[in-house]
Each structure stands twice: as C-alpha cells, then as structure tokens.
Amino acid sequence: MNRGLYTSAIGMMTQMNNIDVITNNIANVDTTGFKKDTTIVQSFSEELMKRFDDPAQSLIKRDNNIGSVSLGNFVAEVSTDFTTGNMEKTGGIYDLAINGDGFFTIETVDKNGNVTEKYTRDGSFTVNANNELMTKEGNYVLGENGRIIIPNGNINISENGYIYVNGEFVDRLKLVDFENKETLRKYGDNLYNKIDETVEKQFTGTIVQQHIETSNVNIINEMTKMINVSRVYELNQKMVQTQDAILGKAVTDIARK
C-alpha cells in the first residue's frame, strides 16, 4: 500500500513539473523568437519482487522471483523545440529575423563584470544613446568586429548580415549555428548559453530586415496539454486520498482486534 502512495505522489510531482513547463510556454506565446519547451518523462528502474521464506519452496532455495514493479514516472529532462516560428513584418529598421537555422550573438555582463557571449533568436533590436545596437534588455549585439555602432543614415542590412549605412559598410552581424542545439541551455532574457559539449558550425540561414520571428508556441496545443495534465494530476490526487483512507481503515480495524 505504501508503494502505491509513493507512486501516486511521484505522479503528482511529475504533472506539477509538466504544468510549470506548459505555463511558461503559454506566458511566452508573444515573446519574439521564443522556443517552447517539452518534458521528457522516464520511468524509475523496476524493482524485482521476491517471495522469502515460502514453506512451499525447497529448504535450499527459500526465495522466489514473483515479478517486478515500477515506482512511476519522473521528468528526466526539459527539451527545447527549436522549430522556426513565423515571420512577422514590423517595418522597424532594427528588427531582424533569421530565416532558417542560426542565432544572433549577444554580449552580456554579469554583476561581477564578467563578459560572456550568449545567443538568441530574438532580433527585435534597438540602439542606445551611443548608437550601439542592443537587445530590448540592454545587452549588446555583436558583430564580427565587436559591439556594433550604427551611425545615423539610411540603414540597410543584407540577408548575409552585412550592415550598410548610406551605402557604406559598417560591420557584419556575428551569426552562428550549432551541430547539437539540444545542448544549449536557456539563460534568461530569451538568451541561450552553450556548454563544453556544444559544437559550432557555419551559419547558413538568411537575415530578413524589418521582420521578427514569432514564438513557436501554439496556444491551442498548450491549453489542450494543460487540461490533460491537470486531469492526470487530479487522478493521482484521488488515488492518494483513496489509499490513505484504506490505510486508515486498516489501522482502525486492526486496533479493534
């Protein structure tokens, strides 16, 4: 009976994790370039059950395998779906979208002054008072020569990421792609961080100016998942209540005898 309680409780915890992921997806349905997450659920290793000291068994072997039992499922990993979102025309000079695979390179500075490179699909950029190209969160957009300074004038950004002002070349966006995008980790501010196992490769996408990439979250699919997950959670909750009631009744009846 205790095993049943544990299995149902683990099931509730798994569905709570699922709800957290789905809720985050729904909250970012309008976030530029956001990539939805999905949970990968695995079962705990099965335990072999034995019958010990069975009088029916021989004196030499007094235990017998009677089967195996799993303690339920758990969320083993949260995976990011890098499917490309839709292109949306904005008319903004600094709004850029990547058509195909790849990422913009962003410079971040932490509270200790450490400078690191991060990556994003969110190309809704702007410029600061010094005409430096930046994200909405205040991080610098990098070019092949470092931070990008865009003078005033007629700005044109080619599909290869070359930046021209009044026909004069300024810099090229630092665009990257990765062999194993599944190793990227969400960092916050719609940015990704790479790990030691992440392998870079040549950028093969194209840049579309005056466009942004919308989130790849399908709100109807996510709401449907939320309903299904909530139902499974409620079922596990009822199982816990039922098993708790049975245990209580068993204790009461034993006490009377």
State pLDDT tens for residues 206-239.
999 999 999 999 999 999 999 998 898 788 777 7
> Of all residues in the chain, what percent carry a pLDDT higher than 70?
82
Task: Tell me the pTM.
Answer: 0.79
Which helix (DSSP H) or strand (DSSP E) does residue 229 occupy?
helix 219-256
- At residue 62, does pLDDT exceed 50? no
CA 43 – CA 200 distance, rounded (Å): 33
Angle, CA of 70, 74 and 76, to the nearest 5°: 120
Mean pLDDT of 243-257: 68
Across 204-242, b (16+ Cβ under 10 Å) vs e yields ebebbbebbbbbbbeeeebeebbeebeeebeebeebbee
- At residue 9, does pLDDT exceed 70? yes
Which phi and psi (to 5°) does residue 178 adopt? -135, 140
Structure confidence at residue 237 (pLDDT) = 79
Distances (CA, A) of 180 to 33, 38, 101, 195: 19, 17, 12, 11
Q: Which of 30-44, 64-78, 183-197, 229-243 has the highest mean pLDDT?
A: 183-197
Angle between helices 2-27 and 219-256 (to 10 degrees): 160
Mean pLDDT of the chain: 85
| C-alpha of 76 from chain center | 13
Contacts of residue 160, Cβ cutoff 8 Å, sequence gap at least 6:
172, 206, 207
CA 216 – CA 166 distance, rounded (Å): 35
CA 78 – CA 39 distance, rounded (Å): 5
Structure confidence at residue 3 (pLDDT) = 67
**Count of C-beta atoms within a 10 Å radius of residue 51:** 13
Please say whether the dihedral angle defined by the alpha carbons of residues 199, 205, 206 and 207, taken in this order, is positive or negative: negative
Report residue 99 as tokens.
Answer: 């058509």
CA 126 – CA 101 distance, rounded (Å): 22
Distances (CA, A) of 85 to 32, 101, 106: 9, 11, 20
pLDDT tens string 156-213: 999 999 999 999 999 999 999 999 999 999 998 999 999 999 999 999 999 999 999 9
Distances (CA, A) of 14 to 29, 49, 97, 191: 23, 25, 36, 26
Q: Say if CB 104 and CB 175 are below 8 A apart.
A: yes
